[in-house]
């Protein structure tokens, strides 16, 4: 079975199991999380490296994944290396394209199906109910065991938990008393991946800016 990319897994986990609609998360938070997923996918593909100071292109050659390659071209054409937070801001603006492409792939692989409905015969709504729930169940089961247990995460699970926590999806996916009791464990796991930490920092900074602009409306 072909392994899902971080972008595909994030989009899949971000959908409500019952309705197929996106779970309630701050819009900009999910934008940044998707951008972080792209960066993590590029790192996994050996195209980039990240540290506390900057993101560096190791290999500019195409991965064969159009979604990742578009981001790679954007990063590689920069005249000088920039920080991870800079590229999170740039790539977060491509949320619609990234999400649409991930959904198309999940539908094409038979994991989701697309439903288009009309409300009052005018306003269109689109949902993506699960067809084959195996992929989502496997990911959730694996991450759940990690949160409730004491094992160290492998790098891939560390990325996923960090991204899910940063955009506040983890609190919807892993809800209930057993997970509440493991809040400290979840927070520790979320800090284990640098890209995820950068996503969380970027979201926190944006939130502070918005609150300073609209203190009574937040």
User: What DSSP line would sit under 96-123, residue for residue?
Assistant: HHHHHHHHHHHHHTTSB--EEEEETTTE
> Domain coordinates of the chain in residue numbers?
6-213
Structure-derived torsion over alpha carbons of residues 108, 140, 199, 152, reported in degrees to the nearest 10 = -130
Per-residue pLDDT reduced to its tens digit, 36-52: 999 999 999 999 998 87
Contact 69, 62 (CB under 8 A): yes
Distances in Å between the Cα of 29 and the Cα atoms of 44, 88, 139, 163, 202 are 22, 11, 21, 10, 9
- Tell me how long the chain is: 218
Using CA atoms, how far apart are residues 185 and 160, in angstroms rounded to an integer?
15
Contact 67, 101 (CB under 8 A): yes
pLDDT > 60? residue 125: no
What tokens appear for 93 in the block? 């603006």
Q: How many helices (H) and strands (E) does the chain have?
A: 11, 4
Per-residue pLDDT reduced to its tens digit, 162-213: 999 998 899 889 999 999 999 999 999 999 998 988 998 888 876 676 556 5
Amino acid 51: pLDDT: 85
Amino acid 211: pLDDT: 58
Amino acid 112: pLDDT: 85
Question: Which pTM was predicted?
Answer: 0.85
DSSP tag of 57: E
Contact 7, 38 (CB under 8 A): yes
What CATH number is given for 6-213 in this structure? 1.10.3630.10
């Amino acid at each position: 079975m072909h392994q899902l990319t971080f972008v595909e897994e994030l989009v899949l986990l971000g959908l409500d199991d019952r309705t197929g609609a996106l779970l309630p998360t701050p819009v900009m938070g999910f934008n940044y999380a998707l951008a972080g997923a792209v960066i993590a996918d590029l790192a996994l593909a050996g195209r980039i490296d990240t540290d506390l100071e900057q993101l560096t292109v190791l290999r500019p050659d195409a991965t064969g994944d159009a979604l990742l390659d578009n981001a790679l071209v954007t990063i590689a054409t920069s005249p000088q290396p920039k920080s991870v937070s800079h590229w999170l801001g740039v790539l977060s603006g491509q949320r619609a394209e990234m999400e649409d492409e991930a959904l198309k792939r999940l539908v094409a692989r038979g994991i989701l199906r697309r439903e288009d409905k009309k409300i009052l015969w005018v306003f269109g709504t689109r949902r993506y109910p699960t067809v084959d729930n195996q992929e989502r169940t496997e990911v959730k089961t694996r991450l759940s065991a990690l949160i409730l247990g004491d094992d160290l995460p492998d790098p891939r699970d560390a990325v996923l938990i960090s991204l899910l926590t940063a955009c506040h999806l983890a609190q919807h996916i892993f809800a209930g008393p057993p997970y509440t009791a493991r809040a400290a464990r979840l927070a520790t796991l979320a800090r284990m991946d640098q890209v995820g930490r950068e996503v969380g920092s970027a979201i926190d900074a944006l939130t502070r800016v918005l609150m300073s602009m609209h203190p009574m409306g937040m």
